[in-house]
Amino acid sequence: MIKSKITGLGRYLPERVVTNNEISTMMDTNHGWIVERTGIEERRWFTPGKETVNSMAAEASKMAIKDAGISTEEIDFIIFATITPDYFLPGNGVLLQRELGLQGIGALDVRNACSGFIYALSIADQFIKTGMYGSILVVGAEIQSSALDKSDRGRSSAVIFADGAGAAIVQASNGEEGILSTHLHADGDYAEELYVRDPGSSRKTRISEELIEEGGFNLFMNGNAVFKHAIVKFHEVIMEALDANGYKPEQLDLLIPHQANLRISQFIQERLKLPDHKVYNNIMKLGNTTAATIPIAMSEAKDSGRLSSGNLVCLAAFGSGFAWGSALLRF
Ligand code: UT7
């Protein structure tokens, strides 16, 4: 049976490093609080006029294409996970397609926030397994910093979210290695616990002074509610992936959780009784880049030797929607 295999990985991080001390000059917060509650020491924010979601995605994609050892023309389809597209319409998939010179192939945008990359990977997996496509470019890229309320009102989310892009080449393979299963879930009852309300299409006007003042264009997060659900669902969906394939947590070589908050990752690590070297975290230096965290982490892990051919790897995410998911793969 045909399997889907991740054959190349890439990433792009904005050059601008924003430390906790710099954030403390914008709002009432401090390095100690941020590190204790989130584990984040610094993050990257884009520079307007220099980087866009599309330019970052293109750089990450070029690195992934090179890593896979394929030519750009071999890509049959693009899946772009982002909730911070460059335009309200059209989506970022077509912009990336144009940038890569792949006019004519299909391009799909996925809007499942922090779980976007897992959803996108699962879609790629289905297309490949059915034989519809042979090589798919899957991207997660975000600019969150321009949606953050950098006043005291928005401090609990402004310290967490950040910018960046990651990309993977997913290809058909007949070997043992590849994606073993993916598991997707959502519960729309919690849609407003983590959301950006505006520009909502069902209003009389999409933009007004009043709407701006209300803060609907900024990212709103009920951090406590997200945290409580995240620690339960992360564990559940990782176990679902392991159970579906007859594995136990101790057989995992590497868990790459969505980088939501270091405390969430540590909580899951403890519940699964995994040693430090089996859990990949980079939130300390990069913050939470929503759909981009997992492909960035995979690309870094591969380059640093922590992710190698043949490893049993679990990817898992939880976020806005609420939507959550996992993927188990033999890398
Ligand atoms: O990416 C996917 C989805 N996102 C997540 O998974 C994030 C999940 N949630 C979280 O990571 C945490 O809930 C936060 C980091 C957002 C907040 O941490 P917390 O430990 O849940 O803090 P809290 O909201 O319960 O607030 C505790 C205190 C409050 O003060 P009082 O009322 O106790 O006096 C907040 O006003 O901390 C205060 N606070 C801050 N203080 C300094 C909130 N944000 C800040 C801040 N700096 N940035």
Q: What residue segments make up the domains of the chain, in order of their start? A: 3-175, 179-330
**Does the domain at residues 179-330 carry the CATH identifier 3.40.30.120?**
no
Identify whether the C-beta of residue 313 lies closer than 8 Å to the C-beta of residue 307. Answer: yes
Residue 36 has phi, psi (to 5 degrees) of -65, -40
246: left (phi over 0), alpha (psi -120 to 50) or beta: left
Q: Do domains 3-175 and 179-330 have the same CATH topology?
A: yes
Q: Is 183 a catalytic residue?
A: no
Q: Is 314 a catalytic residue?
A: no
Q: Is 288 a catalytic residue?
A: yes
pLDDT for 203? 87
Rounded to the nearest angstrom, the distance between the alpha carbon of 221 and the centre of ligand 1 is: 10
Which of these is catalytic: 20, 92, 112, 114?
A: 114
pLDDT for 10? 98
- CB of 33 within 6 A of ligand 1: the answer is yes
- CB of 112 within 6 A of ligand 1: the answer is no
What is the Cα–Cα distance from 290 to 3, expressed in whole angstroms? 27
Q: pLDDT above 90 covers what percent of the chain? A: 94
Q: Structure pTM? A: 0.96
pLDDT < 50 regions, the chain: none
In CATH terms, the superfamily for domain 3-175 is: Thiolase/Chalcone synthase (3.40.47.10)
Contacts of 281 (CB under 8 A, 6+ apart): 39, 257, 259, 262, 265, 297
Distance of CA 216 to the CA centre of its chain: 23
pLDDT for 215? 87
